[in-house]
Structure 1
Amino acid sequence: MIRLLLLLMILGVWGCQEPQQDRRPVSISGEIVNPTDSYVILYKGEEPIDSARLDAQNRFVLRIDSLENGLYNFFHRPEFQYIYLEQGDSMQIRLNTIAFDESLVFSGSGEAVNNFLIDFFLESEGEENLIREALVPMEPEAFSAKLDSLKVRKVRQLEELSSEFPITEGAYHTARASILYKNYYYREKYPFWHRQMIADADGVHELPNNFYDYRSDVSYDDLSLTFLKPYHDFMVFHIGNLAYMSCKDACSIDKDVVGNQLHFNRHQLKLIDSLVTADELRDNLFRTVAFDYLLKYDSEENLEVFMTDFLSRSENNRHLSEIEALSEAIRNLSPNHQLPDLMVESADGSIQSLKELAGAGPVVFYFWSGPQQHHLANITRRVRSLNEEYQDYRFVGICLRTEKPRWKSMLTSYSLDPQNQYWAEDFESFAHTLVVYHPYKSIVTKDGKIVDGFANLNT
Structure 2
Amino acid sequence: MIERLSKLIALFIITAFISCNQASEKSMTFFGGKIINPKSDHVILYDNEIVLDTFFLDQNDTFLGQVEALSEGLYYFKHGNEHQYIYLQPKDSLLIRLNTWDFDESLVFSGKGAKRNNLLIDCFLDSEKQDKLFYKYYDLTPHKFRNKVDSIEKIKLATYKEFEDNNPEESDNYKDILKIALTYPLYSKVESYPMAHSAMSSHNKHNEVNASFYPHRASISLERDSIMYFYAYRDFVINHLYNKVNTAGHDYHSDEFTVSLLKTIANELKSENTRNAILRQTMVGHFYRKSSCNVNKEAFDTYLSLSSDDNDKKLIKSLLNDSKKIHKGKKLGNFKVTDYNKTDRSIKSLIKGKNVVLYFWNPEYVSKDYIAARVNFLSREYPDVKFIGVKIDGDGKERIKKIDIKKQYYLNSTSAANQFLTSKMPRTILINKKGVVTNGYAALSSRNIYSQINKLRKN
> Normalising by the residue count of structure 2, what TM-score does the alignment of the two structures yield?
0.76
In the alignment, structure 1 residue 351 sits paired with structure 2 residue 338: no
Question: Whole-Å Cα distance in 1 between the matches of residues 382 and 311 of structure 2?
Answer: 40
2:409 corresponds to which residue?
A: 423
Quote the offset at 1:222 in angstroms: 0.7
Q: 1:41 to 1:159 in 2, by over 3 A?
A: same
Q: Which amino acid aligns with 1:311?
A: L
Corresponding residue for residue 397 of structure 1: 388
Query: Corresponding residue for 2:227?
Result: 225
Asked if structure 2 preserves the Cα contact closer than 8 Å seen for 1:110 and 1:167, the reply is: no
Instruction: State the match for 2:384 in structure 1.
Output: 385
Over the matched positions of the two proteins, sequence identity in percent amounts to 24
Amino acid at match of 1:276: L
Residues 189 and 237, structure 1, Cα contact 8 Å, conserved in 2: yes
Instruction: State the match for 2:52 in structure 1.
Output: 49
Offset of residue 176 of structure 1: 0.9
1:34: which partner in 2? 37
The 1:352–1:51 alpha-carbon spacing in structure 2 relative to 1, beyond 3 Å, is same
User: How far apart are 1:239 and its partner, in Å?
Assistant: 1.3
Give structure 1 stretches of 5+ with no counterpart.
1-19, 249-256, 387-394
Change (3 A) 1:143 1:431: farther
Cα distance change, pair 219–426 in 1 and its aligned pair in 2 (3 A)? farther
* Selected match of 1:140 from 142, 155, 164: 142
1:50: how far off? 0.5
Aligned residues: 412
Q: Which residue of 1 aligns with 2:175?
A: 172
Taking a change above 3 Å as real, the CA distance of residues 318 and 345 of structure 1, as seen in their structure-2 partners, is closer
Larger Rg: 1 or 2?
1
The 1:435–1:113 alpha-carbon spacing in structure 2 relative to 1, beyond 3 Å, is same
Q: Does 1:69 align with 2:72?
A: yes
Q: Which segment drifts farther, 317-326 or 280-289?
A: 317-326
For residues 337-372 of structure 1, what are the alpha-carbon distances to aligned partners after superposition, in whole Å with 9 as ceiling and x for unaligned? 886886312587541454x55899897442389866
Contact 1:23 1:87 in 2 (8 A): no
Question: Is the partner of 2:156 in helix, strand or coil?
Answer: helix
Q: Which amino acid aligns with 1:173?
A: D
Indicate the SS of the match to 1:214.
helix
Q: Is the 8 A contact 1:42 1:72 kept in 2?
A: yes
| Alpha-carbon distance in 1 for matches of 2:62, 2:383 | 47
- 2:368 pairs with 1:366: no
Offset of 1:378 from its aligned partner? 3.9
The 1:398/1:278 distance shift into structure 2, 3 A limit, reads: same
- The TM-score with structure 1 as length reference comes to 0.76
Letter of the 2:279 partner, please give it: F
| Unaligned runs of at least 5 residues, structure 2 | 1-22, 362-367, 443-448, 455-459
User: Which of 317, 326, 333 is the matching residue for 1:333?
Assistant: 326
Q: 1:385 to 1:339 in 2, by over 3 A?
A: closer
Match of 1:444 among 427, 431, 449: 431
* Structure 1 residues 55-454: aligned runs within 5 Å: 55-133=58-136, 135-165=137-167, 166-197=169-200, 199=201, 201-248=203-250, 257-260=251-254, 262-297=255-290, 302-316=295-309, 319-335=312-328, 343-346=336-339, 350-352=343-345, 354=347, 357=349, 364-367=356-359, 375-382=374-381, 384-386=383-385, 397-400=388-391, 421=407, 423-424=409-410, 433=422, 437=426, 441-444=428-431, 450-454=437-441
Distance in 2 separating the partners of 1:146 and 1:365? 43
Please give the secondary structure, in 2, of the residue aligned with 1:332: coil
